[in-house]
Homo-oligomer: A and B are copies of this chain.
Amino acid sequence: MARRAGVSQSTVSLVLSGKGAGRISARTEAVVRQAAADLGYRPNVAARALRTGTARTVGLVVTDVTHPFFGPVLRGAQQAAWRAGYAVALVDVANDPDRERASFEALRAGPADGFMFFTVDPPEGSGEHVVAIEVQPPGMASVRVDTDRGTELAVRHLLDLGHTRIGHLGSWLDAETFRRRIDAMAALLGDDVPYETAPFDYREACTATLRLLEAHPTAIFCDDDILAGGVYLAARERGLRIPEDLSVVGFDDLPFARVFEPPLTTVAIDPEALGAGAFEVLLDLIGGRPAESRVLPVELVVRESTAPPR
């Protein structure tokens, strides 16, 4: 302990927790800091957590770590947390409802001051400090992307190009962000939009597309760029050229979208802002400040996978 290196005991606490402002002499403070540095002393987090009842850790629960969209979200959240002196504990629910409940149990027992749920519906009784990402349970703080606008931009783009038979390849996840896409399309195109769903897996998305193609759409709007990749696969299999025979629009603007052949037209969003925003809202909640839900802007990136129908 630094106590014997210095002269005192609770003084150390005052100094190291930054609460010595105007209470500890500059000289004593220097001595303490020096001793701490020499001994490589660090306050014990567990003891602090026990005493203060705060863990300086937040939990992030995510449906699927494997999805490329998730990385930047985590980066945003983690960096914002880092700046605020918080650690991020991560739970991957792996699309498994059982694990979802179980992992939440674990987290609740854990030393987290709050939680962010990414594309996961927060369980009942998650406590006060919860923010939902890309999900918007009533009465709960949330951060999400302007899905409605994104869908509208994409569909209007297709409409402007002259398409009339537009299909929808959706995620099979029953999350709000995806339900919104359905509604937004219905608002523009009516209720009889050809619709198939698939998990975020190229091959499965490919077979779902094959089913969708039976309705002979001239364009397909996809809930996500991976699903769009499945459309590319299906088009290749059927000998359909993109965009001549089939226009494709994705969502997310994942990095590989520009590498696809042809480069994918897609709705771009800023995943880091999503993560960072979620943490900031959570921090407000933790600090007892009023937390405002946020809706992040989107942008349509027109590349070469869309063209007028033949």
Give chain A's interface residues, CB within 8 Å of chain B.
42-47, 49-50, 55, 57, 64-68, 70-72, 74-75, 78-79, 82, 85, 87-92, 94, 99, 103, 106-111, 201-202, 226, 229, 232-233, 236, 255-256, 258-261
Contact = CB atoms under 8 A, between A and B. Distances in A.
A9 B293 CA distance: 43
B42 A259 contact: no
Nearest to A200: B255
Given A42-B109, A68-B71, 15 more contacts: A46-B111, A57-B89, A65-B72, A65-B74, A65-B75, A66-B71, A78-B90, A79-B92, A82-B99, A85-B106, A87-B91, A87-B107, A87-B110, A229-B259, A259-B260
A261 B236 CA distance: 9
Contacts of A71: 64-68, 70-71
A295 to B, nearest CB: 24
Contact of A78 (B43, B68, B91, B108): B91
A232 B258 CA distance: 11
B74 A90 contact: yes
A168 B106 CA distance: 46
Given A43-B109, A67-B71, A75-B94, A229 B256 contact: yes
A134 to B, nearest CB: 17
Contact of A202 (B55, B65, B107, B259): B259
A68 B82 CA distance: 22
B92 A89 contact: no
A92 B68 contact: no
Contact of A106 (B87, B106, B255, B256): B87
